[in-house]
Amino acid sequence: MISLPPNERDLHAYVDHQLSDADRRVLETWLASHPDEAALVRAWQQDAQQLRAALSGALQQPANPALDPALIRQRRQRQSRRHLASAALLLIAVSIGGFSGWQAREMTLVRASVLPMTDALQAYRLIAQQGLLPADYQVDNDGDMQRWLDRYFTQASRLPDLTAAGFEPVSGRLLSTDEGPAAMVMYEDRSGHKVSFYVRPPGPKNTFLPRGRRSDGDLQAEYWSGDGYNYAMVSPTDLPAAQLLKPLQPF
Amino acid sequence: MAPSIACDEHLDMNVLDEQLRELIPRLRRFAVSLTRNSSSADDLVQASLERALSNWGEKRADGDLRAWLFAILYRQFLDAHRRSRRYARMLEFFTGRDDTEPSVERTVIAQSTLQAFDRLPTEQRALLLMVSVEGLSYKEVAEILGTPLGTVMSRLSRARQALRQLSDGEISSPSLRILK
């Protein structure tokens, strides 16, 4: 039983229908003779009611198929390896302009694995293929891209010159990986083919790489180390210029 | 009640999925009220559902499903928020500027309850949504927020007061500054 006069907590409980019927009646009787408290309670009730009305629209959003439990279950089974990472490393970019949380979450999946420079391939998939993550930097003049990269990776190798193969640097992005901050420079040719140049530190274990090449699905990566960083160039395996690019790399 | 056996598992899963589906609009609304961004909100819901499905065994059999999911979502949001702040700091280090919106003293006069609500700190939004809109019990809310009941009550009092002031068009006092 509440005691009279009621404390503020009782008034809230009244507004929120969390009093027993008996207490509710006691309080109602008391409020009838206490206009100030009654006005406050009415205002709270009104606010709550208006809030309910205002937020009821948010229940009517069009369904998002990605949220279907059955689908999530299936995906979890398919990607049990990845799901922990995605749930645990979810990044919500509530305060980062131009980033949606999902992109950011995918980005956190850009993590080095046993295979060399997997993060470079993942970054290519996210950015070049899925079109996620707006550019941190867009080229508007010659030489800009190199200057942009130099701001972050002062000692890094020069950007490869791929003009002979028809590729020009167009945009740059900064990424966060388990191995440290990374930068990815995207090159494009006139038909919109994309090739990426990726640079990051060798990571906490100082994993320097012998020069190598591997393919992963529809992508191929050339990778190497030098000047204290690891590098990769990623391109689609079916890229007509793929063969052209290879001898052009000055590393 | 007979314990569920292997051949019931599929059925149980369908029943569970159906229960989850019914709650998704509420989870999305909660997530939007936290993130104030619908695509981030859906990510948050998705991550929370993933978490819920993988931690299903941890749910108390008698516990309310909605309260349990709200708790998961709220924790995911807090974790993610901390991470995004770390990430923002890294960007800042890189670019020499702060990409997070600076704390702004909110002095704009509210024109509606919703606008007033949107200007409340995250925790107060979460609290009012759970109590006033979802009608969760104080005890459930205390569990979701991981705070004692008394703390819930004093925070609720502050949240109501803040909403009242903002809805009334009063200039917010310094205590209503959004602290990031």
Confidence of residue B116 (pLDDT cuts 50, 70, 90): confident
- pLDDT at B129 > cutoff 90: yes
- Which residues does chain B have within 8 Å of residue A87's beta carbon, measured at their own beta carbons? 47, 50-51, 54, 76
Where does a domain end: B100, B125, B145? B100
What is the count of residue pairs from A and B with beta carbons less than 8 Å apart? 179
Q: For residue B119, what pLDDT band results from cuts at 50, 70 and 90?
A: confident
Helix, strand, coil percent content, chain B, rounded in steps of 5:
70, 0, 30
User: What's the CATH code of the domain at B43?
Assistant: 1.10.1740.10
CA dihedral A107, A112, A116, A118 (to 10 degrees): -20
Distance, in Å, from the CA atom of A62 to the CA atom of B46, rounded to the nearest integer, reads 15
pTM: 0.52
Q: Is residue B18 part of a domain?
A: yes
Residue at which a domain ends, from B52, B68, B100? B100
Listed in sequence order, the residues at least 6 apart from B81 whose beta carbon sits closer than 8 Å to its beta carbon are A92, A94, B122
- B36/B96 same-domain check: yes
Residues of A in contact with B91 (CB under 8 A): 96, 174
| Same domain, yes or no: B116 and B179 | yes
Q: Which of residues 23-52 of A touch B (CB under 8 A)?
A: 43-44, 47-48, 50-52
pLDDT value of position A53: 84
Which one of A92, A100, A174, A199 makes the best mutation probe of the B interface by having the most chain B beta carbons within 10 Å?
Answer: A92
List the domain range (segments joined by +) for residue B68. 14-100
Per-residue confidence (pLDDT) for residue B174, from 0 to 100: 38
**pLDDT one digit per residue (tens) for chain A, 251 residues:** 788 889 999 999 999 999 999 999 999 999 999 999 999 999 999 888 888 888 887 888 888 888 888 888 887 776 554 443 433 333 322 223 334 444 444 444 444 345 788 888 888 887 787 776 667 777 776 668 888 888 778 777 788 888 888 888 998 887 777 777 788 899 998 988 899 999 988 877 777 888 888 888 889 998 888 878 889 999 998 876 666 566 444 44
Q: Are residues B37 and B53 in the same domain?
A: yes
The answer to whether residue A20 neighbours chain B at the CB level (below 8 Å) is no
Q: A110-248 adopts what CATH topology?
A: Phosphorylase Kinase; domain 1 (3.30.200)
| Residue B13: Cβ-neighbour burial (10 angstroms; 0-12, 13-18, 19+) | middle
Q: Tell whether B5 is covered by a domain.
A: no
Q: Is B2 within a domain? A: no
**Are B44 and A90 a contacting pair at CB < 8 A?**
yes
Q: Helices B9-35 and A69-78 sit at what angle, rounded to 10 degrees?
A: 100
Whether B131 and B111 map to the same domain: the answer is: yes
- The pairs formed by A111-115 with CB atoms below 8 angstroms and a separation of 24 or more are A111/A85, A111/A177, A111/A178, A112/A177, A112/A178, A112/A179, A112/A203, A112/A207, A115/A214, A115/A216
Comparing A243 with B26, the larger pLDDT belongs to B26
Same domain, B120 and B140: yes
Decide if A90 and B81 are in contact by the 8 Å CB cutoff: no
Cβ distance A16 to B131 less than 8 Å, yes or no, reads yes
Using a CB–CB cutoff of 8 Å, tell me whether A100 touches chain B: yes
Answer yes or no: do B106 and B96 share one domain: no
CA distances from A168 to A120, A186, A203 (A): 19, 8, 29
Looking at the structure, do residues B122 and B140 belong to the same domain, yes or no? Answer: yes
Closest of A160, A212, A214, A211 to residue A187, by C-alpha: A160
Contact A13 B113 (CB under 8 A): no
Q: Residue B119 belongs to a domain with what CATH number?
A: 1.10.10.10
> Are B41 and B106 in the same domain?
no
Residues β-bridged to residue B109: none
Q: Where are the domains of chain A?
A: 8-59, 73-106, 110-248
Q: Which of A45, A64, A82, A95 to mutate to test the interface with B (most CBs of B within 10 A)?
A: A95
The reply to whether A64 touches chain B by the CB within 8 Å rule is: yes
On whether both B61 and B82 belong to a single domain, the answer is yes
Position A40 scores a pLDDT of 92
Q: Which of B56, B84, B100 is the last residue of a domain?
A: B100
Q: Which residue has the higher pLDDT, A13 or B174?
A: A13
Residues from chain B that touch A2, judged by Cβ atoms under 8 A, are none
Statement to judge: residues B92 and B123 lie in one domain: no
Cβ within 8 Å, pair A73-B53: yes
Q: Are residues B86 and B135 in the same domain?
A: no
Both B117 and B177 in one domain: the answer is yes
On the question of pLDDT at B49 being above 70, the answer is: yes
DSSP for B71-135 reads: HHHHHHHHHHHHHHHHHHHHHHHHHSS--SPPP----SPP-SHHHHHHTS-HHHHHHHIIIIIS-
Domains in chain B, number: 2
